[in-house]
Amino acid sequence: MKPAVLTGEHYITGDVACAEGALAAGCRFFGGYPITPATEIAEHMADRLPGVGGTYIQMEDEIAAIASVLGASWAGKKSMTATSGPGFSLMMENIGLGVCTETPCVIVNVQRGGPSTGLPTMGAQADMMQARWGSHGDYEIIALAPSSPQDMFFQTIEAFNLSETYRVPVLIMSDEIVGHMSEKVVIPKAGKIATCSRPRPRGRKDRFRLYEPGPNGVAPMPAAGEGYNVHVTGLTHDERGYPALSVENQAQMMRRLIDKIHNNLDDIIRTESYRLDDADIAFVSYGVSTRTAMAAVDMAREQGIRAGLLRLITVWPFPEQQIRALAERVRGLVTVEINLGQIHLEVQRCAGGKAPAILAGHPGGTIISPEQVLQTVKEAF
């Protein structure tokens, strides 16, 4: 039997690194359905989970896959699925169910060119707005964007920790390029990996309320079958979990769903800066495109352009305050992403006209070259 954490240095793809990160985080259930370019995550989990006491199940489609993940989470297991654009679209209704029922789980989207079947074997970053608004209604979501196989390992662990801490589905918005890229991945010893588990109920079981918030706005979560009254519904519900279809209960439930994210933004949002302290042109990027943007920063500096990079590790919730602060002090903002301007629109919104914001992007299929980014800067500024 292999250990849950395969420590040491490995030369593996981003998809395999994601699966190993899930195992290191304590994931013991994977419900999936094959789809390019995410299938390798499912394949690796199918191979590894039985050896660590976990369960892999291939469902009949992506709708059933996410449903199985929600059910396994309520049975007390850390749970995950992985898909790409078309499957992500099919999962949206049940992702909304996971938000409404405050069900911790992780959904990996290895993005490819779209819409529809699109470019199954080529990368893109065009599902970013769908990640935020794909399900109906008002809600908050957490989405991370890895830029390398090493990132895939650690951000998968982080996704589980955030999901368990805030009782919310967490999205890993990868892409075909990172998913199929092979690089060195260093996996620490198990004792060096920090993991979190969902808050657990205490006190008398007959007084337990399933959605009564704790100090950080998150309700403790029992597993079904432990003797607590567990009533899980996608209808508007009260703190007991029972349907309560009134305007007042809708407002109360929505405040809980929104505030547990909004009131903890400083603990959720993560970014990194590169040569940004004295920059007068700020690149904003995420995922694989940060590699392009970082190279473009260095090229710009060699040509006397003081460029820097703000890398979005957490894309949702969006780091609005950081973008606003950047817009106050730079000459321009450039969003680097493999789409036609999804996160760029958020950058523009937050800049609020204080600095011009332009896009360096294209419809997908390959990375954006550093030369293209630098040419965009020269033409605009």
What pLDDT was estimated at residue 215? Answer: 87
Q: What is the pLDDT of residue 61?
A: 98
Cis peptide before 317 (omega within 30 of 0): yes
CB 101 within 8 A of CB 47: no
Number of neighbouring beta carbons within 10 Å of residue 315:
26
Q: How confident is the model at residue 231 (pLDDT cuts 50, 70, 90)?
A: very high
Do the first three CATH levels of 8-192 and 272-380 match, i.e. the same topology? Answer: yes
Mean pLDDT on 298-323: 98
pLDDT tens digits, one per residue of 60-75: 999 999 999 999 999 9
The C-alpha R_g of the chain, in whole angstroms, comes to 21
Q: 143: closest CA among 315, 290, 5?
A: 315
Quote the CA–CA distance of 27 and 106 in Å, as a whole number. Answer: 9
Q: Using alpha carbons only, give the angle 134, 135, 136 rounded to the nearest 5 degrees.
A: 120
* pLDDT given for residue 381 in this prediction: 86
Average pLDDT, the chain: 96
CATH class held by domain 8-192: alpha beta
**Quick one: three-class SS letters along 98-122?**
HHHCCCCEEEEEEEEECCCCCEEEE
Q: Provide φ and ψ at 110, rounded to 5°.
A: -90, 95
Please state the domain extents for the chain.
8-192, 272-380
The residue type at 369: S
Q: Select 272-380's CATH number: 3.40.50.10420, 3.40.50.920, 1.10.8.50, 2.40.50.140.
A: 3.40.50.920
Contact yes or no for 25/160 (Cβ under 8 A): yes
Mapped onto helix, strand or coil, the DSSP state of residue 233 is coil
pLDDT 10s digits, 122-180: 999 999 999 999 999 999 999 999 999 999 999 999 999 999 999 999 999 999 999 99
Residue linked to tokens 């400083």: 266
- What is the distance between the terminal CA atoms of the chain, rounded to a whole angstrom? 59
In 176-323, the DSSP E strands lie at 182-187, 271-274, 281-286, 307-312, 314-316
Q: What's this model's pTM, rounded to 2 decimal places?
A: 0.97
pLDDT digits (tens, 9 = 90+) for 185-203: 999 999 999 999 999 998 8
Query: For the segment 285-295, what is each residue's pLDDT rounded down to a tens digit?
Result: 999 999 999 99
pLDDT at position 1 is 65
Q: Which residue has the higher pLDDT, 380 or 311?
A: 311
Cα angle 96, 267, 210 (rounded to 5 degrees) comes to 45
Is the pLDDT confidence value at 5 over 90?
Answer: no
